[in-house]
Amino acid sequence: MRPIQMVDLKRQYTNIKSAVDSAIQEVLDSAAFINGPAVTNLAQGLASYTGSKHVIPCANGTDALQIAMMALDLQPGDEVITPSFTFVATTEVVALLKLKPVFVEVDPKTFCIDPAAIEKAITPKTKAIVPVHLYGQAAPMEAILDIARRHNLYVIEDNAQAIGGTYTFSNGDTKKTGTMGHIGTTSFFPSKNLGCYGDGGAIFTDDDTLANRLKMIANHGQSKRYYHDIVGCNSRLDSMQAAVLNVKLQHLDQYTAARRAAADFYDNAFKAHPKITTPYRASYSHHVFHQYTLLLEGVDRNGLNEFLASKSIPSMIYYPVPGHKQQMFAAFGGADYHLETTDWLTERVISLPMHTELDDEQLNYISSNVLEYINKN
């Protein structure tokens, strides 16, 4: 059996090596390292893949969130509602921009932000909601967009974990995740569903005015070279990363299918086990399984993690500390929050290896070892 990793980037590369190598060679030959044709091609490719009118590549997914918030012209102290159960980047940029993060609960089934909790957290200072399509599952966008419309709030979708996923509205319309809010953001960090070989990110919007501002902010606030109208930053995706992404974008749907097939295998192996809840698949969401995350009941999670490690099976806790309990947000009243569902999930989740190259032999080995530990302990 091949060794098992959380994410097997080496084998994925081996399978597309000639296309990737020649795409990189092309950039080397052209010496167009910044803003070369590969970057323009990627923006166009992502626009047609997602149906988003504008795509602005940038340096990473955290920058994408920061630039999105800068473009909305929020004022210090304005409140931004985010789930507490997410990667820190979602909330970190809120604090960095001197805005106030407001942590809310997630749904215990979908792990995504709970619309009822958003509604309760709204104050006259609330300006934006940042739903996260966590682990590859679409957040309940119809309810979120409805709340935003009623309260005149911006919606920024953090789509770092769900590129290629979709959301289906009650009228049957289906849209790609990251294209429903005012702005969507994503990350091309190597382990993401569409990952490059370094850092990368992108911003999505259908709004022409916002697109223009986003582009300017990502490039020192300039409209014309050396004419800087607004305060921006330097956040570029380099041409070599774009070249890699242009190749991988052609495979994204096939990669998603491989992830979903691995998830099906796991689901079947853990089906109806009294101590294991397999990932919920909301009917409105085409889940792209950035992570395959189990919810354990009455299981010593550290014991399982150590047992699996002794069998050369990695497993991870995403995330061991929720936002409202992070030291960095203490000044925002972290200790005053009581987010029971978030705390409950934080203590019970465990993510198993999930990537595009898992075979049945590996999946069988992983799931039988998980079951062996849980059934004995």
Residues that bind ligand PLP (CB under 6 A): 60-62, 86-87, 89-90, 132, 158, 160-161, 187, 189, 199, 201
User: Minimum CB separation from ligand PLP for residue 342, in Å?
Assistant: 15
Residue (55 or 276) nearer to ligand PLP, CB: 55
User: Minimum CB separation from ligand PLP for residue 326, in Å?
Assistant: 14
* Tally of CB atoms within 10 A around 51: 12
User: Minimum CB separation from ligand PLP for residue 198, in Å?
Assistant: 10
User: Minimum CB separation from ligand PLP for residue 166, in Å?
Assistant: 18
Residue (50 or 367) nearer to ligand PLP, CB: 50
What's the CA gap between 38 and 40, in Å, rounded?
6
What's the CA gap between 368 and 153, in Å, rounded?
47
Residue (201 or 323) nearer to ligand PLP, CB: 201
* Of 3, 7, 6, nearest in space to 197 by CA: 7
Residue (52 or 235) nearer to ligand PLP, CB: 235
Token pair listed for 142:
């119809």
- Nearest residue to ligand PLP by CB is 61
3-state secondary structure of 286: strand
* 317 burial via Cβ count (<10 Å: 0-12, 13-18, 19+): middle
The rounded Cα 265 to chain-centroid distance in angstroms is: 23
* Of 81, 85, 89, nearest in space to 109 by CA: 85
User: Minimum CB separation from ligand PLP for residue 358, in Å?
Assistant: 20
User: Minimum CB separation from ligand PLP for residue 87, in Å?
Assistant: 4
Contact 27, 243 (CB under 8 A): yes
| Sign, CA torsion 263/268/271/275 | negative
Contact 101, 76 (CB under 8 A): no
User: Minimum CB separation from ligand PLP for residue 117, in Å?
Assistant: 18
Nearest-5° Cα angle at 357, 237 to 352: 95
- Give residue for tokens 């590129």: 163
Residue (97 or 269) nearer to ligand PLP, CB: 97
**At residue 242, what is the residue type?**
A
**Residues ≥6 apart with Cβ < 8 Å to 121:** 81, 102, 104
User: Minimum CB separation from ligand PLP for residue 96, in Å?
Assistant: 13
- Give residue for tokens 């319309």: 173
Residue (64 or 339) nearer to ligand PLP, CB: 64
Residue (5 or 369) nearer to ligand PLP, CB: 5
- Give residue for tokens 């030291």: 327
Residue (87 or 373) nearer to ligand PLP, CB: 87
